[in-house]
Amino acid sequence: MAEAAANGKLTLKGRYEIVTDDPLPAFDSPRAKAYNVIDTQGDRPLPLMGLLLDRRFPVRLTGMEELRDCRLPGLLTLLDSGPTGRRGDAHRQMCLIYERPSGARLTPGEDAPFKPVPEEAIERQILPRMLPVLKELQARNVTHRAIRPSNLFHSGDNRGLVLGECFSAPPAADQPDFLEPVESAMADPLGRGDGEHTDDYYALGATILCLLLGKKPDAEGSGNDLLHLKMELGSFSALASRYTLSLPIVELLRGLLNDDPRERWGITDLEHWLAGRHRKTLRGKLPLKAARAITIGKAECVTSQSAAFRLSLDWESGASMVRSPSFDNWLRRSLHAEDIAKSLQGIVGGSGPEPADAKALSRACMVLFPSSPISFKGISVNPDGLTYMVPASTGSQAQRQKLGELLAAKVPSTWFSTNTAQRSDLARHQSLLDRMATLMAQTGPGFGYERVIYELSSAIHCLSPLIESRLVVNYEELLPAMEAAVSDRLPSHEPLDRHTAAFIAARCRQVTDRWIRPLGAEADGFARVVAQVRLMAFVQGLSSNGPLPNLCRWLEIHLRPVLSQFHNLKRRKQMLSELEVAAKSGIIGKMMVLVEDNQARAKDEQGYRAAIASFGRAEMQVKALQNEAGYMDYTARVLGEQVSAVASGRVRIWSILPLSACTKRSVGRIRPVVRPLAVGTTLRAPAVMPASSDAEMVMSPVTGTVSTFT
């Protein structure tokens, strides 16, 4: 944030100035910091504040749009929201603009004591302010999921309290467990999900109890122990049974803290209670209790719900426990749950020493407690909570691995088939989560965990390291953000990473799998780069973003090796020159016209094959000449050997004749007889020279003829 607000200010939509040098710590939310805000285009009756959100978590875009500028006396008014700065800025942050509360916060935290609120104030001030808020939220189909004492502010008119914001974190992520129903409290804070309106009424009941006491209820345990107690005694008994309360308040709390969502009080019941039409509230139906407890971990369980909860806390030992004969005997003999025991036997394969796997334990917990969250290897998440938990777990490799296995194993589908009393609003999540297993099974770019992130959450921005800080939510903003990111320095890696490919595939519905699958060509780097640039050209055409010269310059570097595959050197040089011109235009499609010019490639390939054939013929001719030259050398060598043999024989004959035999007369009678030899004539020295022969043969070394002398 320091880099984004170098001058001490951030702007939102050119209108609101968030003064980062003027923090408002009194109005901070658990996951967002508050700052003073100046409205440069309006005159607001109340001062404003801005909440800068943590971009690691997806925001509730739909809820923010529904409640924008919704004015109710009991609710902080959300004026605007969006990313700070302008498109292309290097660092942007999600910001919420609220009218600043006119009074102080009721309490800085749930553990801090405060002045108790009288019962009369609950009836005449608190509930009359809260009911219109809850009614409006229900009409707009938005859950608040942040009703707690620390999120209440004193009103300026001293007529009650004002409910604070609910969009700075995932739903119920900042809620203490005692303020949440059992099913929500069992889930990890980031995986509780949007829930339903009955969850807000439960939180209202627990908050009213805190207001009456001036503190958090003192229970016999905290955290998991309190949740365990709720499952076995019921929420009202676990939270309020030790306090002395009036009968009307007991009636109110019993209705709001009912553990059965179908029996929990709603708007109509609260209106009747305020009107004085009190009715006796029956105790919530408690789960069946066993005759004796079974020890799981260090806790003693007497209900199947608490047993499921304790088994899910330590899944490795729980997987062994659920297969043990002692657990089967407890279900059949102490809990008298023969149907549950038979179902578990079908899931884990009967009792035995072999440990059950994580999926089998997850199914076992669903049978023991059908409305509980999905439990898998220590993770507990509601189906609608996966929308928030999957993106938020990107930075944790261990958490990401577990969630990926959960989706790939189709555990959510099992939850939907087991939970017969599921909420109607979860039908959309069921079909969506069924598709996630298919996406997880494909590991190439554009699929896998990255694709699941963007399919589950339409609010999460692109998490590619290149542009993550620029908060790109729509695919139309992707390429301009990349253009700005590479303006100073061109990266060395390929243009599209796994996040950008998955982001395009999820957000741009015109992009089908035929665009995505070529991105996984691991063995062919040229084909992979061409597929990436082709996809980016398609997105640029859909977005109409204008020229992107910096991005094209980056793409040119990766496309040059592709065009270097042209064999014709002159044509290659021309193509590279045309590629450079196309890159300067900033239109990726012009570059792809050159890269995918099939006619030019076919012509180059045809010329290359013709050159190969011509080279082959020339090579054969050279080899023929080399063979003929070798034969001539061989012939000369053999002929020379034969002539040398004849000549050496005559030289020896001359050497044994006496000198007196060579008189002048005899010398004068020497007559040369020249007989030319025919081509191919073989000379052989006689084995024995006749003694009477006075003829001599001499071969001329110049002419190759033989002379006979007598």
pTM, full prediction:
0.82
Strand 294-296 with 161-163, pairing: unpaired
Name which of 11-20, 69-78, 149-158 the model is least confident about. Answer: 149-158
Q: Over 60: is that where the pLDDT of 653 sits?
A: no
Res 690: pLDDT: 46
Task: Label residues 254-283 b or e (16+ Cβ within 10 Å = b).
Answer: bbbbbbebeebbbeebbeebeeeeeeebee
Res 67: pLDDT: 94
Model confidence pLDDT, tens digit, residues 123-154: 999 999 999 999 999 999 999 999 999 999 99
Task: Give the residue-averaged pLDDT of 177-198.
Answer: 95
Distance of CA 136 to the CA centre of its chain: 36
**Backbone phi and psi for residue 471, each to the nearest 5 degrees, phi listed first:** 50, 60
Place of tokens 């739909």: 62
Model confidence pLDDT, tens digit, residues 571-592: 788 888 888 999 999 999 999 8
Please give the helix or strand (H or E) that residue 447 lies within, else none.
none
- Average pLDDT of the chain to the nearest whole number: 85
Model confidence pLDDT, tens digit, residues 487-518: 989 998 999 999 999 999 999 999 998 899 99
More confident residue, 277 or 18: 18
Res 158: pLDDT: 74
Res 603: pLDDT: 63
Task: Give the residue-averaged pLDDT of 607-611.
Answer: 68
More confident residue, 375 or 692: 375
Q: Over 80: is that where the pLDDT of 285 sits?
A: no
Q: Over 80: is that where the pLDDT of 226 sits?
A: yes
Task: Give the residue-averaged pLDDT of 654-681.
Answer: 49
CA-wise closest residue to 321 among 356, 347, 372, 287: 356
**Backbone phi and psi for residue 438, each to the nearest 5 degrees, phi listed first:** -65, -40
Res 614: pLDDT: 74
Residue-by-residue DSSP string for 464-520: -TTTGGG---SGGGHHHHHHHHTSS---SS-S--HHHHHHHHHH-TT--HHHHGGGG
Place of tokens 């339903």: 196
More confident residue, 481 or 524: 481
As a whole number of Å, the CA-based R_g of the chain is: 46
Name which of 73-82, 311-320, 325-334, 649-658 the model is least confident about. Answer: 649-658
List of residues 6+ apart from 691 with CB closer than 8 A: none
pLDDT class of 686 with cuts at 50, 70, 90: very low
More confident residue, 116 or 708: 116
d(CA 653, CA 649): 7
CB < 8 Å & 24+ apart, contacts of 213-221: 213/116, 213/243, 214/113, 214/114, 214/115, 214/116, 214/117, 215/113, 215/114, 216/110, 216/111, 216/176, 216/178, 217/178, 217/243, 218/242, 219/178
Q: Which of 4-13, 100-109, 589-598 has the highest mean pLDDT?
A: 100-109
CB 310 within 8 A of CB 228: yes
Q: Over 70: is that where the pLDDT of 280 sits?
A: no
Task: Give the residue-averaged pLDDT of 106-119.
Answer: 91
Res 649: pLDDT: 67
List of residues 6+ apart from 443 with CB closer than 8 A: none
Q: Over 70: is that where the pLDDT of 654 sits?
A: no
Q: Which of 1-5, 351-355, 389-393, 420-424 has the highest mean pLDDT?
A: 389-393
More confident residue, 187 or 4: 187
More confident residue, 550 or 347: 550
CA separation, residue 113 to residues 123, 211, 367, 592 (Å): 22, 10, 41, 67
Name which of 7-16, 51-60, 310-319, 649-658 the model is least confident about. Answer: 649-658
pLDDT class of 269 with cuts at 50, 70, 90: very high
Residue 506 burial by Cβ neighbours in a 10 Å radius (0-12, 13-18, 19+): buried
Name which of 540-544, 584-588, 665-669 the model is least confident about. Answer: 665-669
Q: For the chain, what percent of residues have pLDDT higher than 90?
A: 60
Res 249: pLDDT: 94
Q: In angstroms, how far apart are the furthest CA atoms of the chain?
A: 172
Model confidence pLDDT, tens digit, residues 148-185: 999 999 987 777 899 999 999 999 999 999 999 999 99
Res 644: pLDDT: 79
d(CA 361, CA 358): 5
Res 516: pLDDT: 93
Res 633: pLDDT: 75
Q: Over 60: is that where the pLDDT of 703 sits?
A: no
Res 622: pLDDT: 85
Task: Give the residue-averaged pLDDT of 261-280.
Answer: 87
Model confidence pLDDT, tens digit, residues 344-379: 988 876 554 455 588 999 999 999 999 899 999 999
pLDDT class of 26 with cuts at 50, 70, 90: very high
Residue 685 burial by Cβ neighbours in a 10 Å radius (0-12, 13-18, 19+): middle
Q: Over 70: is that where the pLDDT of 422 sits?
A: no
Res 607: pLDDT: 65
Please give the helix or strand (H or E) that residue 601 lies within, else none.
helix 598-656
Res 687: pLDDT: 44
Model confidence pLDDT, tens digit, residues 451-464: 999 999 999 999 99
Q: For the chain, what percent of residues have pLDDT higher than 70?
A: 84
Res 632: pLDDT: 78
Q: What is the 8-class DSSP label of residue 26? A: G
pLDDT class of 2 with cuts at 50, 70, 90: very low
